Amino acid sequence: MGSTGGRTRGAPEPGPRAAADAPYAATDDPGATEAAARARNGLVRRLTEDGALTDPRWWAAFEAVPRHLFVPYYYEAGEGRVGSYAAQGSGSAGYARLCRDDPDPSRRARWLAGAYADAPLATRMRGGELISSSSQPSLMARMLEALEVADGNSVLEIGAGTGYNAALLAHRVGDERVTTLDLDAEITDAARAQLAAAGFRPAVVTGDGARGWPDRAPYDRIIATCAVPSVPGAWPGQCRPGGLILTPLATGLIALRVPDAGHAEGRFLATPAYFVPLRGTAPPPSVSTHGIPPRPLMDDSFRFLLNLVAGRMEPVEALALWEHEDRPGRERYGVTVRGDRQWAWLDDPEGPYGWPLGPGR
């Protein structure tokens, strides 16, 4: 199902790889390649200025990997049908489809600008549901830096998406050390083709993300680009001792150290994160705001707590805790996994504030 590359990248060379932009030049216009390179350099400059990119090795990866090759089309909300390239079908009503091959030069330019905007892009819809997207580049950069990848690390990515994140990882550690996984064969087929077009060949496999991919374990790092209601039990068991798992959970990002197969623990990053749920998992519990005045609901840190304790604490209790503890930010919360048990906590895994995660929430 997957394919592994026979080529390892060493230390990345600064500067974009112009040859990788060739597929954009469908009109045989040299200016198209130059436009893509300029747009990519502009994105890297913005990410660096905003502090999302601080590690030169990830800076080099973002400069070298052409995002536009991974989003040959995407959807913009709110425009509806636009010419012959308007969104079609029940899954994309009310969306404009921007496409690399649009015959209108102005719409091609708009597509390219969007491909290098610091914004998430809806790339695949089905039955009115968004099932795959390309994440906001600044969030991707922060996640990759938080993953603390070292030379020689092997990485499992849960949620192949367009393949862009896997390409960044492959640029950093080499094709043969990256595995990207998705439940949907249509998504993995497209990701594999787009990776190859950009010159990357990590292993792209189709399977249940909650089960990981034991065939290529153990991994030094596991990163999920989809949200989970709790940490799948298979993931710590597929990490090497000392490994790291980074996953979206409850509108946050939890970074878990894995001392052994049965244990994982860590804190949330300060960064908010909103991802498409991992397909095949139970939906997160509904978040109630009953009895909560409007002002706390405008505070991101309180909304995060409501998501974290949904189904385990009444909203008014959550508000009382939040106010008593001086409105804690995400980074004061953490998650512990011990065998079949896992829970979220505030400040201390053994402290007074803890909430079970997993089935039965």
The values of phi and psi at residue 245, to 5°, are -115, 130
What is the C-alpha to C-alpha distance for residues 211 and 355, in angstroms, rounded to an integer? 24
CB 90 within 8 A of CB 127: yes
Instruction: Give the single-character DSSP code of 330.
Output: G
CB contact burial 320-333 (16+ within 10 A = b; e otherwise): ebbeeeeebebebb
Neighbours of 3 (CB within 10 A): 13
The side-by-side arrangement of strands in the sheet containing 121-126 is 95-99, 73-77, 121-126, 129-134
CB 183 within 8 A of CB 204: no
3-state secondary structure of 356: strand
CB 62 within 8 A of CB 47: yes
In the structure encoding, which two tokens stand for residue 269, read together?
């990053």
Known catalytic membership, residue 132: yes
Chain position carrying tokens 């503890």: 325
What is the C-alpha to C-alpha distance for residues 168 and 91, in angstroms, rounded to an integer? 29
| Amino acid of residue 12 | P
Q: Which of 286, 294, 300 minimizes the C-alpha distance to 330? A: 300
Q: Which of 90, 92, 106, 132 is catalytic?
A: 132
Catalytic residue numbers read 132
